Amino acid sequence: MGMEQMQLVIDTWKKLGRSARNVSENFYERLFEQNPALKLAFRFGYEEAAEKLTYMLSFAVINLRRPEETLLPAARRLGRLNAVMGVRAEHYDVAAAPLLGALQNALGPDWTPEVESAWKEFYSLASGALKQGAGIGAESGMTA
């Protein structure tokens, strides 16, 4: 992921500000609409999950310029934890489109082809580390 793409991700995440939580909520709405069976994994609702996702995305974006030092090791650790919770490779793959859709919805006219490409690269980087941590391997590509 190039510096220009990193900066686009950072700038657009900052632009969301307090509405970043809405992105997470919209992500889960889209995810469950497209994959209803996944809702069973959220027995207690997804409000807490949306809060955690917002925090994780913020952490990832803040540490994007130092991926090998902070972002990727943290994603690998989270991937190990997620694997224990039953997350499989296809879950990361099907999550891409709902996340990108939620970001597009929130950013409106600021969602350009360049921004979309940057976020796809970011998601590929992060999900690859999550899969690696889970011992899944990143052989399956992004489906968005």
Question: pTM, whole model, 2 decimals?
Answer: 0.83
Cα separation, 5 vs 99, whole angstroms: 17
- Average pLDDT estimate for 119-131: 91
pLDDT band at 43 (very low <50, low <70, confident <90, very high): low
pLDDT digits (tens, 9 = 90+) for 4-18: 999 999 999 999 988
Q: What is the pLDDT of residue 1?
A: 83
Q: What is the pLDDT of residue 143?
A: 38
Q: Which amino acid is at 71?
A: L
What percent of the chain stands above pLDDT 70?
88
The token pair that represents 49 in the structure block: 């999950």
Q: What is the pLDDT of residue 100?
A: 96
Of residues 98 and 1, the one with the higher pLDDT is 98
In this structure, the number of other CB atoms found within 10 A of the CB of residue 16 comes to: 19
Q: What is the CATH code for 3-134?
A: 1.10.490.10
For tokens 């190990």, the residue is 80
Q: What is the residue-averaged pLDDT of the chain? A: 85
Q: What is the pLDDT of residue 80?
A: 80
Cα separation, 69 vs 61, whole angstroms: 13
Q: What is the pLDDT of residue 45?
A: 65
Q: What is the pLDDT of residue 90?
A: 76
pLDDT digits (tens, 9 = 90+) for 49-75: 788 889 889 999 998 988 888 888 888
Beta strand residue intervals within the chain, DSSP E: none
The token pair that represents 125 in the structure block: 């980087």
Q: Sketch the domain layout of the chain as residue ranges.
A: 3-134
- The answer to whether the beta carbons of residues 58 and 9 sit under 8 Å apart is no
CA angle 64, 119, 70 (to 5 degrees): 20
